[in-house]
């Protein structure tokens, strides 16, 4: 059971997209909970495409410009310094405690 997954949609301007740097975020939803990948990948694909509150739902017109990726996260490690990670390379899971 893979615990952590994210489904990300990106959109490229018309006529571009071969270079990932040309693509803009269009939706992204994931989870850190233990759920079956087989059972929940369709759900997270749907949610990231149509229910990410930061974006309007993906439209049929956008389909030719869309790119979808699934990130499966593993091998988490603790860090000693809160700045000991790189944007675009590492994911970060934060935990807060209430006393």
- Residue pLDDT, tens place only, 58-81: 999 999 999 999 988 777 777 788
Q: What's residue 1's pLDDT?
A: 55
> Would the pLDDT of 11 be above 90?
yes
Q: What is the reported pLDDT for 63?
A: 92
Those residues with Cβ within 8 angstroms of residue 11's Cβ, 6 or more apart along the chain or in another chain: 23, 24, 26, 62, 65, 66, 67
Give the whole-number percent of the chain exceeding pLDDT 90: 37
Quick: pLDDT tens for 15-72: 787 888 889 999 998 887 777 778 788 889 999 999 999 999 999 999 999 999 998 8
Strand order, beta sheet including 4-11: 24-31, 4-11, 66-73
């Amino acid at each position: 059971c893979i615990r952590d997954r994210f489904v990300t949609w990106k959109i490229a301007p018309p006529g571009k997209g071969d270079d990932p740097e040309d693509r803009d975020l269009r939706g992204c939803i994931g989870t850190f909970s233990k759920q079956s990948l087989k059972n929940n990948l369709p759900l997270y694909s749907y949610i990231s495409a149509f229910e990410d509150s930061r974006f309007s739902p993906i439209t049929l017109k956008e389909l030719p410009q869309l790119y979808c990726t699934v990130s499966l996260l593993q091998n988490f490690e603790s860090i000693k310094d809160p700045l000991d990670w790189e944007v675009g390379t590492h994911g970060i899971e934060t935990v807060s405690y209430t006393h």
